[in-house]
Structure 1
Amino acid sequence: MNNASSRAAAISLSPEIIAAAAESKAWPFEEAKKIIARYHDRGYPETVLFETGYGPSGLPHIGTFGEVARTSMVRHAFRVLTEDKVKTRLLCFSDDMDGMRKIPDNVPDRAALEPYLHMPLTSVPNPFGGDYPSFGHHNNAMLRRFLDTFGFDYEFASATEYYKAGRFDEVLREAAWKYSAIMDVMLPTLGEERRATYSPFLPISPKSGRVLYVPIKHVDAKDSMITFDDEDGTETKLSITGGKVKLQWKPDFGARWAALGVDFEMFGKDHQTNQIVYDRICSILGGRPPEHFVYELFLDDKGQKISKSKGNGLTIDEWLTYAPTESLALYMFQRPRQAKKLYFDVIPRAVDEYYQFLAAYPRQDWKERLGNPVWHIHGGNPPDIHLPVPFGMLLNLVSASNAENKAVLWGFISRHAPGVAPETHPELDRLTDYAIRYYEDFVKPAKIYRAPDEEERQALATLADRLEALPADSDAEEIQNAALNVARFIPRYQDHKRTSPEGGPGVSVAFFQMIYQVLLGQERGPRFGSFAALYGKAETVALIRRALEGKLAA
């Protein structure tokens, strides 16, 4: 179990920050204000508890990380608004006592797990091998590994450990006394067939070890016992305490809130219809429902909901293979109530946007800073990083040069930006590794060079001549203008909805799309002038000549 401190490191506050926070409309502050309003008429408890839930039925995916990242942002906003005078905790709770209802698609030797269907996840053997004793323990460790790498201040909690240690015994006894009231909440939400057998208590068979979805014959609230028929038909009495029985997932939500005194928990839109059920059960069991934030779900490249068991979304490790963690945190911060596709194509843009926000931060006043994602990503203390070359440009530089190592890339970068080196710009050096990996795995396999038609050949030949005639020290703007001056006199590239500085028609984006299709084998690219200045004027001319000779399309 993670032993992180129950209180995050002290934060730096000034009157300007506190005033700006009170007025901020950034969504973490809006959520934090709900928690403050929750205790408006009463004193704060010893600790305000933030919670996230995790279902370890499959390997952790980015949506799981998103809950922790976003909740941490709300927690930090709350600490700022309360001037860091109220203790807080973030509890990451794993429902690892749930029965394995189906075998995930992305595990090795699925057949080997079939005998363990419906057993608690922490009783299912670990299909991945290694030091973890069960499937649930392995998946919990995968989650904790990433959270620790990112530096979250959190405590990890296991449902198996909590149930077996008796930490839910009191609320389970209360559930026995309030059994009828809980059933009154649950039964109207179920179909007729399910109502006939439903019980909020799920006994774990003393004989098979499986989590049983069976009718409960009798609930003895006085002695905290239930009576049911085991799988072999034997009538069995079982204590509801000590981890011998768990609650169905909907009652479990509300019971956990009541038992632990949770003040804030966010969840995906797929839980929204059940929120009223969770809240009512929490109240029945003597608790106060926490403040909620409902976020939209992530989708894969086909627009389907990401599923842990299907493995159809990006994993945490996959994102971190191609981009820094801060870019992932930015993706979580932006538009949390809007459904977003989460697949490999979103990574480069997220990386560049992160550094753009970082570059803007020093120029902003406090009102703007507290709305800037990097303030929330870095807990109010963003690093001072200057990135002379965008990530997207690095990708295109790798693409044009077919660079397979950083030395080649740094040769271009250092020539373009004298004084910039791996030692002076370690963040850029880190990004060159990401760019090469991303290019090799995703850009290079998808490259399709096409041969230019006759009119395109003439345009490219003219462009090469114009670039060759430019002074050796021409900058990105001069190169861009040279390209525009070629295109604006070719009818197929004229955009009559735009006006050039000379008063004629502007240039269609089709001209630059043609350049990237022919020269890089890609549909899109960065601003041509910026790319050519970084790659080198002479190198760009040589690339055009190679395309005209048919060497790229071949």
Structure 2
Amino acid sequence: MAWKGKRGDKEAFGGGCKMIFWADKLADEVIKREERLKRVKNLRVESGIGASGIPHLGSASDVARGWAVCLGIRDRGYDSDLIAFSDDRDGLRKVPLGFPESLKEYIGKPVSHIPDPFGCHESYGEHMSSLLLESLEKLGIDFKFYSGDRFYAKGELDREIGLALKEAERIKKVVEDWLGQDLRTVFFPICQSCGRIYTTRVTGWEPGKVFYVCDQEFEGKVSGKPFMVKGCGYQGECSFRDGKLAWKVEFAARWSRLKVCSEAYGKDLADSVRVNDWVSKNVFGWEPPLHARYELFLQKGGKKISKSVGNAITPQDWLRCGSPQSLNLLFFKRFTGTREIDLNSVPAYMDEVDWLEDVYFGREKIQNERELQHPKRLFEYIHYLKPPKKPGIHLPYLMLANILRMVPDLELAKKIVMELKGLDETEELEKRLRWAKNWVGERKAERPEIKPEELPALSELAEWLEKERDAEEIQGKVFELARKHGLKPSEFFQKLYLILLGSPYGPRMGKLIQLLGCKRVAEKLRESGPAGI
């Protein structure tokens, strides 16, 4: 049975009377269920890893959320492992955009049997899996990795393959009755002649061995263009270890073999999970794991993020620009509900991590005790239930980004920030500046709206700042120009802060401009108008 949080489900999302954080709720459900079933001591959580294309944020979020449930189980005194299972025996169906078109000849072959086009790993599948594993290690997630290709090769699923073949007609009927689909086969042999996996069909079997013919076809894609991949006509036999189960069966086989107690899934896999639950219980004799269904991340504009169409934002992209905790916040803040995401979201998540830390240490007051519980628990989870013992430095992300736009030299920018904020040089400050510098990259700054009546004051200030001035002189000049041009001084100051720091507030204006450099600020002001001032 899947647990499905809904909008307004206060208990599931951390609101309402009980204020149970979603990972804690799922951990409680898993423990309660396994105590009733009395079958295992280690409450294993599994997440699948696709290996057919560049892993994106959604790929990492699946594993990270599994890790959160695993942490919740451990926090209650139970043993729990997180399994990251790579689907690296899946066949390649599409050549991802931007990849060499020479991969076309390998479409239909298991990704672990395709040479790495980049030449740094033993196979295409290993290359793709390694990218996600690298990001999980950077996030500090503790997991046990399983390669599907090696799992099959070692015979780990021999029992389940035999049972699936024995009950193939029952499984096919369930798929047809429930989903209206024709499941051609429960097992795909790898053709010994052409090496493809989705062009084969089983014609007979005996313990440990299948007989097959390679006479099927499926649609492949290169550069977004479809074409038909046809079988070579070969007839032969192979062992259970030289093929793979269909998706409608494979999840169940893994759950049974690895004794999995919990696995979340995206809504796009709902039908497959439903069938696998039936197969797990009725064919393999393993009560299926507790599920939780989550929504998917989307590109800005609502397009699905895909490994094969070249629009993936990778965990590495995010971690170049933000902290592991900011990415955990993206993954853990909410379990359900579709979210549009791109790297422009990094500043907001970085600043929210700082806010959560202020709440956790009582520097940000929330009077309602029930409303306080959720951000505190969320802060603990983004630190894997080992939060820092004291708060760190907090610096608005866009302030750092805007300073770095005007002062690209990292060392000089660091000195300016230290002077503005009265900070000592620390490793944390260095990291924050490097994240912001990477984020700025080629990204253009968003221009604040400039009202026509503000243009003369900004233009005159820019001209006046062509000479270096001292802080007090600058402070007085800003007041003077606001009054001269009929502007409210408070609103003029806010506009200057928005232009210089991306925030309506900041340190004393005279000192800020002096530290940034009067000529740099003059240039920034001239760039801020609709067509320059």
**TM superposition score category, shorter chain reference:** 0.7 to 0.9
Counterpart of 1:268 in structure 2: which amino acid? Answer: G
How far, CA to CA, are the matches of 1:63 and 1:326 in structure 2? Answer: 16
Q: Which residue is equivalent to 1:391?
A: 397
Give the one of 136, 156, 161 matched to 2:150.
161
**CA shift for structure 1 position 73:** 1.1
Give the one of 420, 436, 446 matched to 1:416.
420
Q: Which residue is equivalent to 2:430?
A: 429
Q: Which residue is equivalent to 2:73?
A: 78
**CA shift for structure 1 position 219:** 4.2
Q: Deviations over 1:201-259 (max 9, x none)?
A: 11111222210344433344xx34433323444543433x2x22211112111222122
Whether 2:203 is the aligned partner of 1:202: answer no
Q: Which residue is equivalent to 1:7?
A: none
Q: Which residue is equivalent to 1:115?
A: 105
How far, CA to CA, are the matches of 2:301 and 2:166 in structure 1? Answer: 48
**CA shift for structure 1 position 428:** 1.7
Q: Which residue is equivalent to 1:60?
A: 55
Q: Which residue is equivalent to 2:512?
A: 535
Q: Deviations over 1:483-533 (max 9, x none)?
A: 9x969975xx99xxxxxxxxxxxx98xx7886578x45xxx9212344847
Q: Which residue is equivalent to 2:115?
A: 125
Give the one of 359, 380, 394 matched to 1:375.
380
SS at match of 2:20: coil
Distance 1:312 1:371, change over 3 A: same
Give the one of 269, 272, 279 matched to 2:270.
272
SS at match of 2:131: helix
How far, CA to CA, are the matches of 2:305 and 2:493 in structure 1? Answer: 35
Counterpart of 1:416 in structure 2: which amino acid? Answer: L
**CA shift for structure 1 position 104:** 1.3
Give unpaired runs (5+ residues) of structure 2: 1-16, 215-230
The answer to whether the 8 Å contact 1:412/1:534 transfers is no
Distance 1:129 1:189, change over 3 A: farther
How far, CA to CA, are the matches of 1:548 and 1:50 in structure 2? Answer: 54
How far, CA to CA, are the matches of 1:182 and 1:531 in structure 2? Answer: 71
Distance 1:173 1:394, change over 3 A: same
**CA shift for structure 1 position 53:** 0.2
Counterpart of 1:139 in structure 2: which amino acid? Answer: M
SS at match of 2:264: strand
Aligned runs of 1:159-198 on 2, under 5 Å?
159-188=148-177, 195=182, 198=184
Q: Which residue is equivalent to 1:19?
A: none
Give unpaired runs (5+ residues) of structure 1: 1-21, 495-506
Q: Which residue is equivalent to 2:340?
A: 341
**CA shift for structure 1 position 314:** 1.1
Distance 1:449 1:334, change over 3 A: closer
Q: Deviations over 1:104-126 (max 9, x none)?
A: 1132x22x212211111100110
Counterpart of 1:373 in structure 2: which amino acid? Answer: L
**CA shift for structure 1 position 413:** 1.9
Q: Deviations over 1:154-174 (max 9, x none)?
A: 110011111110110111111
**Aligned residues: percent identity?**
26
Q: Which residue is equivalent to 1:96?
A: 88
Q: Deviations over 1:435-482 (max 9, x none)?
A: 222223213xx56699873554248869999xx9996899xxx999x7
How far, CA to CA, are the matches of 2:270 and 2:486 in structure 1? Answer: 57
**CA shift for structure 1 position 353:** 1.0
How far, CA to CA, are the matches of 1:171 and 1:177 in structure 2? Answer: 10
Q: Which residue is equivalent to 1:238?
A: 238
Distance 1:235 1:361, change over 3 A: same
Counterpart of 2:398 in structure 1: which amino acid? Answer: G
Q: Which residue is equivalent to 2:97?
A: 105
Counterpart of 2:404 in structure 1: which amino acid? Answer: V
**CA shift for structure 1 position 407:** 2.0
How far, CA to CA, are the matches of 2:484 and 2:193 in structure 1? Answer: 79
Give the one of 489, 503, 508 matched to 1:526.
503
Q: Which residue is equivalent to 1:48?
A: 43
Distance 1:373 1:550, change over 3 A: closer
Counterpart of 2:168 in structure 1: which amino acid? Answer: Y
Q: Deviations over 1:400-437 (max 9, x none)?
A: xx11122221222222233x122xx3212211112222
SS at match of 1:407: helix
The answer to whether the 8 Å contact 2:190/2:200 transfers is no
How far, CA to CA, are the matches of 1:513 and 1:170 in structure 2? Answer: 69
**CA shift for structure 1 position 64:** 1.4
Counterpart of 2:512 in structure 1: which amino acid? Answer: Y
Count of residue pairs brought into register by the alignment: 487
Counterpart of 1:404 in structure 2: which amino acid? Answer: P
TM-score (normalised: structure 1): 0.78
The answer to whether the 8 Å contact 2:115/2:124 transfers is yes
SS at match of 1:187: helix
How far, CA to CA, are the matches of 1:234 and 1:330 in structure 2? Answer: 51
Counterpart of 1:64 in structure 2: which amino acid? Answer: S
SS at match of 2:95: coil
Counterpart of 1:202 in structure 2: which amino acid? Answer: F
How far, CA to CA, are the matches of 2:528 and 2:336 in structure 1? Answer: 48
The answer to whether the 8 Å contact 2:50/2:129 transfers is no
Distance 1:487 1:329, change over 3 A: farther
Distance 1:360 1:100, change over 3 A: same
TM-score (normalised: structure 2): 0.81
The answer to whether the 8 Å contact 1:414/1:421 transfers is yes
**CA shift for structure 1 position 301:** 2.0
The answer to whether the 8 Å contact 2:456/2:485 transfers is no
Q: Which residue is equivalent to 1:350?
A: 349
Whether 2:129 is the aligned partner of 1:145: answer no
How far, CA to CA, are the matches of 2:353 and 2:274 in structure 1? Answer: 37
How far, CA to CA, are the matches of 1:332 and 1:252 in structure 2? Answer: 26
How far, CA to CA, are the matches of 1:91 and 1:533 in structure 2? Answer: 56
Q: Which residue is equivalent to 1:327?
A: 326
**CA shift for structure 1 position 144:** 1.7
Distance 1:409 1:376, change over 3 A: same
Distance 1:449 1:41, change over 3 A: closer
Aligned runs of 1:204-223 on 2, under 5 Å?
204-220=190-206, 223=207
Distance 1:472 1:326, change over 3 A: farther
Distance 1:165 1:224, change over 3 A: closer
**CA shift for structure 1 position 309:** 1.1
The answer to whether the 8 Å contact 1:264/1:292 transfers is yes
How far, CA to CA, are the matches of 1:273 and 1:533 in structure 2? Answer: 62
Q: Which residue is equivalent to 1:228?
A: 212
Q: Deviations over 1:39-89 (max 9, x none)?
A: 2434361311110001100022111111121111111111223xx2x2211
Counterpart of 2:402 in structure 1: which amino acid? Answer: N
**CA shift for structure 1 position 262:** 0.8
How far, CA to CA, are the matches of 2:281 and 2:141 in structure 1? Answer: 31
How far, CA to CA, are the matches of 2:458 and 2:88 in structure 1? Answer: 63
Counterpart of 1:415 in structure 2: which amino acid? Answer: E
The answer to whether the 8 Å contact 1:464/1:541 transfers is no
